[in-house]
Structure 1
Amino acid sequence: MRNPSYASWWQHLVLCCICGLILTPVILVVWVSLGSPGSQTGQWTLDYWRLVLGFAIQNDQGKWVTSPFPALLWLLNSLKVAFIYAVLSTVLAAMAAYGLVRKNIYASKPIANGLLFMQFFPSVLALVAVYILVRKLGFYIPSLGVNSHGGLVVVYLGGLAFFIWFLKEQIAGLPSEYEESARVSSASSWQTMTYVILPLLLPGLLVTFLISFTMAFGEFPLASILLQQQDQYTLAIGSQFYLSEQYYNWGEFCAFALLSASPAVILLLLIQYWLVHFSQTPVKESDYVAVDP
């Protein structure tokens, strides 16, 4: 505090230039979504946002028109699929990672290495096989078949290898003294994981939830194959129709892009706040050792 070290002016200038380069595309998208005000033919308007949000606007001929695409329905579909997948993937990956690390499963190390090896294969290689399997599954359980959000979530759950590997490393770095104290108190394996491992693993679980939510929210190849009706589309599929040959509107597309990006940004800010809050909260040994048998 007595000898503060301030960055020189050129360092601030470099940082401002970098921020400008990063924010320029976002500013341009916002500018176009507002009608490109200040350009040669553009003027400030909220008509593109009204169309995306499902409201009618008055065109140049005085007629009231609406957007042919249900953007809010696509947003709801994306939120539903991403949230369900994020919850299930976080829970299943945590249990699988805990079993690999703490349960001394036979050949656990080769299994973990196999999970890591599976990440090198892109999901597009299995598109045909996935479609056939989901179509067969739909004969017995229609809610998990083709053109259903349940089937899409089931397919997404096939990619848990990364999250299992990530949480496995997190659990391996946790101290084992708390778990040993819980076992001395006659706690079961489920109680040990619920009351000891999960509180200690909470930052890793939040990061897993955020990554899985973001991946499912913007995933396109699998969703475009499995979802075949407009009322079942997600945002990633619906965005392509705004720039098709039959309907070409950059302003509405930019408003749609900002709308589709807002849930992930809000979730990121919330999780960032939670991570900072939990990192500043002191951890007491009694919080994790006192487990009721």
Structure 2
Amino acid sequence: MNARSQRASRRQSKLIVYLLLLAGSVVFLLPFYWMVISSLKPSYAVLDFPPSWLPIPPRWANFPEALTYVPFARYTLNTLIITVFSVIGNLLSASLVAYGFARLRAPGKNALFLVLLATMMLPYPVTMVPVFVIFSKLGWVNTFKPLIVPTFLGTPFYIFLLRQFFLTLPVELEDAARIDGANTPQILGYIILPLALPAMATVAIFTFQGTWNDFLGPLIYLNDQTHYTITLGLSFFRSTYQTNWAYLMAASLVTMLPVVILFFFAQRLFIEGITLTGVKG
């Protein structure tokens, strides 16, 4: 009887947990559902009150009309160029610097790492103006360089993330490789990075999502409309006097699809990278 009551108690606890998760998922999915149904309504019906929760009939023409309302293909290409090079830059710079902090011995290494962590405390608005002045003096304003080049110089959070992951890898693997005649670049390229694939995937996903959704950076540095990214292009659906909500929701839905698809296919590596990072400090 006691064992039976314990099993019943566990089932009740699981049921409560599942109900709470279901309620939480509904709360988080409601804005997404509203975006979907709004993208299938006429623009005048989006703000109706009381709202209609089903687009009857669905207006599929909103999607092609929204994507041709502005040069969406050009904005997508610009965003893709910036995003791909930013991912490459962060993976290269963060892995090299993180390996140095995790494995190489040098005087003052720990102090430099503390300085690196301290830079994470600075909010972006504090450095926004001086960084803009630097790029302006270099003549990089209205180009993609201010949005790409800094990623090749290292991002503190990604360096910290990879450094913590590298510390979890056994040093004996590197010692065995050195006995076999491997140098440091070979150890990093053939041993460390393949083992750090989950953490590298995490950095790539974070970079892709952050760059793809970035609005402030392109707004500051890009003036020519031919250089605009998707996030800047979405602002064309809003004017001083009115907003075409149906087109805006349709274009936003298409914009977010690459990030959702990327996370869907890479979620196993992403979760593994987050779980294993920081096991050893």
CA contact (8 A) 1:163 1:208 kept: yes
Change in 2 beyond 3 A, CA 1:26/1:195:
same
Aligned to 2:142: 147
* 2:74–2:226 CA contact under 8 A, matched in 1: yes
List runs of 5+ in structure 2 lacking aligned partners: 1-6, 46-50, 274-281
Report the secondary structure of 2:131's partner residue. Answer: helix
SS in 1 for 2:31: helix
What is residue 165 of structure 2 aligned with on the other side?
170
- Structure 1's 245 and 157: CA in aligned 2 closer, same or farther, altered over 3 A? farther
Whether the aligned pair in 1 keeps the contact of 2:82 and 2:148 (CA below 8 Å) is yes
Instruction: For 1:122 and 1:252, locate their aligned partners in 2 and report how far apart those are by CA, in whole Å.
Output: 34
Provide the TM-score with structure 1 as the length reference: 0.80
Residue 13 of structure 1 pairs with residue 19 of structure 2: yes
- RMSD over aligned Cα atoms: 2.6
* Pairing 1:80–2:86 present: no
Matching residue's letter, 1:166: L
Q: Does 1:217 align with 2:208?
A: no
Q: So what's the TM-score if we normalise by structure 2? A: 0.83
Q: 1:157 deviation in Å?
A: 4.6
Alpha-carbon spacing, 1:266–1:275, altered in 2? closer, same or farther (3 Å): same
Whose helix fraction is larger, Structure 1's or Structure 2's?
2
- Specify the alignment match of 1:34 in structure 2: 40
Report the identity percentage: 26
- For 1:105 and 1:31, how far apart are their aligned partners in 2? 58
- What is the Cα deviation at residue 119 of structure 1? 0.8
- Name the structure 1 match of 2:64: 50
Q: 1:181 — aligned with what?
A: 176
Residues 52 and 72 in structure 1, CA contact (< 8 A), matched pair in contact too:
no
- Residue 122 of structure 1 deviates from its aligned partner by 1.3
Shift >6 Å, 4+ stretches: none
Q: Work out which of the residue numbers 185, 189, 199 in structure 2 matches 1:190.
A: 185
> Residue 53 of structure 1: SS of its match in structure 2?
helix
Contact 1:241 1:247 (C-alpha < 8 Å) held by counterparts: no
Q: 1:291 corresponds to which residue?
A: none
| Structure 1 residues without counterparts, runs of 5 or longer | 55-66, 139-144, 279-293
Aligned residues of 1:130 and 1:155 also touching (Cα < 8 A): no
Partner of 1:241 in structure 2? 236
Q: 1:124, 1:221 within 8 Å by CA — same for their partners in 2?
A: no
CA distance in 2, matches of 1:130, 1:52: 35
Taking structure 1 as reference, are residues 222 and 6 closer, same or farther at Cα in structure 2, changes over 3 Å only?
same
- String of CA shifts for 1:200-254, please: whole Å, max 9, x gaps: 1111111011111111111222221100111111122222221222662000110
Query: Secondary structure in 1 aligned to 2:178?
Result: helix
1:10 Cα deviation from its structure 2 partner: 3.9
SS in 2 for 1:262: helix
Instruction: Give the Å deviation of 1:274.
Output: 4.8
1:100 maps to 2:101: yes
